[in-house]
Chain A
Amino acid sequence: MMSPNARIPRRWTNLDAGQAALPLPSALVSVWSPINHFLEWFGDLGLFAWEVARSAVRRPFEGRELIRQLDEIGSRSFPLVALAGAAIGAVLSLESRYSLVRFGAKSMLPAALVYSIIRETGPIVTGLVVSGRVGAGIGAELGSMKVTEQIDAIEASGVNPFKFLAFTRIVACILMLPLLTLVADFCGVLFGWIAETLVEPVSFLSFLNKGFVGANFSDLLAPTFRTAVFGLIIGMIGCFQGMRAKGGTAGVGFSATSSVVLSSLFVILADVILVKFILVFFP
C-alpha cells in the first residue's frame, strides 16, 4: 500500500461500499494472497505513474534538477556501462571465434559480433547494469528521504515531490539509456575487435566494414531506442519503491533491493516483448 499521503488517489475497495470482506478458505487465501499483493502493488504503481504524469505538465519544469539528474544517472554510469560493454565484446569475440572456426565460418565473426552487440547484447547489458547502479541509487536515496520525512518537508514547502524528485529522475533515465547503450555498443565492438586482432591481426576499419555488411540504420536505431523504455521502467520503479519506503533503515534497504530486483525483472520482460515488436515492424 502507498503511504497515507493525501495526493495519491485511494483505491476503491468493497469496504467503501459498507460490505464486510468475505472470509475465504485457507487454501484459497494462500493462493490469492500473493496475487492480491501483486495486483495491489501494480494498482499503486499505476496511481503513482498517473501522479507523475499529471505533475509533468505543470510549471515549474525543474530544468536545473533535470540537468543534475542527467549528470548523476548518465555521466556517472558511463564508466560501468563502458566496462560492461567492453567485457561483453571481448568475451563474445573469443567465444564466437571458437564456434565459428568449428563450422568453417570464421569470416562471419565481425558481422556476428556487431549484430549481436547492437541488436541485443548492448541494449540488455546496459539496461541491467543501469538498473543495478541507478535503480539501487534512486531506491535508496528516495527511501532514505521518505523515512526521514525529507519528502514531506519538500511537500510542506510547496514543492511537488512527484515532479521534483520522480519526474526528473524518470526523464533523465529515459534520455540517458539510449546514449549509454551507444557507449556500450561502441566499447563492445572496439574490444571485440581488440580480442580478435590479438589472435589474428585485422585493421579496425576492415573489421567494421565486414561487421556492418548488410546492416541498415534500423538495425542500430530500433534496438537502441527501445532502451528508452528500459529507462522508463528503471526510473519509475526506483522512484516508486523509494517514495513508498517505510520502517526506518530496514525499509530503505528493502526499497533499494526491491528497486533493483523489480526493475531488472521488468527490463528483461520488456526486452522480450520489444524484441518481438521490433521484429514485426523492422524485420
Chain B
Amino acid sequence: MRHPEQETLLAVEESAATTAIASSGGKRDGPAVVLRGLHKSFGNQIVLDGIDLTVEDGETLAVLGRSGTGKSVLLKLIIGLQKPDSGSIGIHGQEITLLHLDALNEIRKKMGFLFQQAALYDSLTVEQNVAFPLKRHTKMTESEQGDRVKELLASVGMEGDLKKMPSDLSGGMQKRVGLARALALDPGILLLDEPTAGLDPITSGEIDELILKLQAEHHMASIVVTHDLHSAKTIADRLALLHEGKVQIEGSFKELEKSENAFVEEFLKRDS
C-alpha cells in the first residue's frame, strides 16, 4: 500500500527503472519470469501470501489449485493488470512492479495472454481480432498483416473462419482465436488462464495438443493456470500447487505424486 509521501520516492524509482529498460534495449537477462515474495489482498481477504516462482525460457509451468485461490490473479499480476501489495516480479531480468505505463506496455508486447473466456473483441471479426495487436504495434502493411493473420489462424486450425464474428464461434473455437491473437506479436512469454475450462474432454484434448504444438514451434516460456490436472500433466514441464495463498509444492508430476502433504494428496486423489 502506498502512502502519499511515498509517491515521490516511487516516482524517482519508476523513472530509474524506465531508464534501465530503455538502456537494456529489452534484451533478455535471466529467467523469463521470476516472482519473489508476492503478496496480494483484496480488502481483508489475503489471496496471495508470499509466492516465489521461477519460469525459464522454453519451460511450461502449470499453476494448479482450487477455485478462488488466486491463480488468475497471479497471471494478472505478471502482466501488470493488477499491482501486488508487496514483492517483486521480474520479466527477463526487468523488475516490472515499479514501471510506469509506457515501459510496462513495452514489456506487455513481449507477452501473450489467453483469457479464461477468450475475451475476443465482440465488435470485431476473427480476422480483426487477431490483427489488433499487429495494427497497434507493428509497421506491417495491410497485406503483410493479412498474411500474418492467415498464418496465425492456420496454426490454430481456424483459417476458414476469418470473417466470422466471435458470437458465431463455439467456446473451443474462441479459445483457438484467443491463442492466435496472443501469439500475434511472437511473444517470449505466454500466459494461459484456464485454457480448457468449460470445454468438453475431446475439445480440451485438442487445445492441449495445440498448446504443445505452439510451444514447440515458438519455444516460449508458458504459465498455465488450470484446475484440470490431466491437462496440466500433458502440457507442463513443472507444476505448482497453490493453496491458502502459498505454493504448497512445486515440481514434476511424479514429485507431486510422491508428496506426503495432505492437501497435495487430497488434490491429486480428487482429480484422478
Is the contact region of chain A dominated by helix, strand, or loop, or is it mixed?
A: loop
Q: Are B119 and A148 in contact (CB under 8 A)?
A: yes
Q: B108 contacts A152, CB within 8 Å?
A: no
Tell me if A153 and B4 are in contact (CB < 8 A): no
**B267 an interface residue at 8 Å Cβ cutoff?**
no
B81 near A6: Cβ-Cβ < 8 Å: yes
Interface flags, B83-125, vs A, CB<8A=1, else 0: 1000000000000000001100110110101011101111100
Contact A157 B119 (CB under 8 A): no
Taking a contact as CB atoms under 8 Å apart, the answer to whether A158 and B121 are in contact is no
Considering only CB atoms, which chain B residue lies closest to A7 in the complex?
Answer: B101
CB distance from B24 to the nearest CB of A (A): 18
Do the beta carbons of A158 and B81 come within 8 Å of each other? no
Nearest-neighbour CB distance to chain A for B172, whole angstroms, equals 17
CA distance A154 to B109 in the complex (A): 11
Contacts of B121 in A (CB 8 A): 145, 150, 153-154
Contact (Cβ within 8 A) B105 A160: yes
Q: Is B137's beta carbon under 8 Å from chain A? A: yes
Interface residues on A, range: 20 to 34
Q: Which of chain A's residues have a CB closer than 8 A to the CB of B4?
A: 12
Measured between beta carbons, the chain B residues less than 8 angstroms from A160 are 101, 105
B205 within 8 A of A: no
The yes or no answer to A4 lying at the interface (CB within 8 A) is yes
Chain B nearest CB, measured from A160 CB (Å)? 7
Contact B82 A6 (CB under 8 A): yes
Decide: B122 and A150 in contact? CB cutoff 8 A: yes
CA distance A156 to B191 in the complex (A): 11
Give A112-170 interface residues, CB cut-off 8 Å to B.
Answer: 141, 144-145, 148-150, 152-160
**Interface residue from B1, B109, B132 paired with A16 (Cβ < 8 Å):** B1
A159-B136 in contact given A5-B82, A152-B81 (Cβ < 8 Å):
yes
Chain A residues closer than 8 Å to B1, beta-carbon distance? 10, 16
Indicate if the CB atoms of A157 and B108 lie closer than 8 Å: yes
Query: Is B2 close to A, CB under 8 A?
Result: yes
A102 at the interface (CB under 8 A from B): no
Closest Cβ of chain A to B81, distance in Å, is 5
Contact partner of A152 among B106, B119, B133, CB < 8 A?
Answer: B119
Is there an interface contact between B83 and A6, defined as CB atoms closer than 8 Å? yes
A158 touches which one: B42, B108, B116, B117 (CB < 8 A)? Answer: B108
Q: Encode A228-261 as 1/0 by CB contact (under 8 A) with B.
A: 0000000000000000000000000000000000
Q: Which residues of B contact A149 (CB under 8 A)?
A: 115-117, 119
Q: How many residues of B contact A (CB 8 A)?
A: 32
Does B80 reach chain A (CB closer than 8 Å)? Answer: yes
Q: Is B79 an interface residue (CB 8 A)?
A: yes
In angstroms, how far is the closest chain A Cβ from the Cβ of B165? 14
Tell me whether B79 and A156 are in contact (CB under 8 A): yes
Interface presence of B3 (CB below 8 A): yes
The answer to whether residues A157 and B136 also contact, given A4-B42, A148-B117 and a CB cut-off of 8 A, is yes
CA distance A60 to B136 in the complex (A): 9
Kindly list chain A residues whose C-beta atoms are within 8 Å of the C-beta of B137.
157-158
Tell me if B219 is interfacial: C-beta within 8 Å of chain A.
Answer: no
The answer to whether A148 and B122 have CB atoms under 8 Å apart is yes
User: CB distance A10 to B113 under 8 Å?
Assistant: no
- Say whether, besides A5-B81, A158-B106, A160-B101, A153 and B115 are in contact (CB < 8 Å): yes
CB distance from A71 to the nearest CB of B (A): 14
Chain B residue, CB-CB nearest to A147: B117
Q: A148-B119, A148-B122 are in contact. Are A156 and B81 (CB under 8 A)?
A: yes
Among A10, A16, A159, the one with the most B-chain Cβ atoms within 10 Å of its Cβ is: A159
- Kindly report which residue of chain A lies nearest to residue B133, judged by CB atoms: A157
| B119:A153 contact, CB within 8 angstroms | yes
Residues of A within 8 A of B122 (CB): 144-145, 148, 150
Are A6's CB and B115's CB within 8 A?
no
**Cα A157 to Cα B124 with chains together (Å):** 16
Residues of B within 8 A of A60 (CB): 136
If the complex has contacts A58-B102, A144-B122, A150-B121, are A157 and B132 also in contact, measured as CB distance less than 8 A? yes
Q: How far is the CA of A5 from the CA of B225 in the complex (A)?
A: 20
Q: What 7 A-B pairs are tightest by C-beta distance, nearest first?
A: A153-B119, A158-B105, A149-B119, A158-B108, A6-B83, A156-B113, A158-B109
List, sorted by A's number, 25 A–B pairs whose CB atoms are closer than 8 Å. Answer: A5-B81, A5-B82, A6-B82, A6-B83, A10-B1, A12-B3, A12-B4, A16-B3, A145-B121, A148-B122, A150-B119, A150-B122, A153-B119, A153-B120, A153-B121, A156-B79, A156-B108, A156-B111, A156-B113, A157-B113, A157-B133, A157-B137, A158-B106, A159-B136, A160-B105
The residues of A with any CB-CB pair to B shorter than 8 Å are 4-7, 10, 12, 16-17, 58, 60, 141, 144-145, 148-150, 152-160
Known: A6-B80, A152-B115, A156-B81. 14 other contacts (CB 8 A): A6-B83, A10-B2, A12-B4, A16-B3, A60-B136, A144-B122, A145-B121, A149-B115, A149-B117, A149-B119, A153-B113, A153-B119, A156-B113, A158-B133
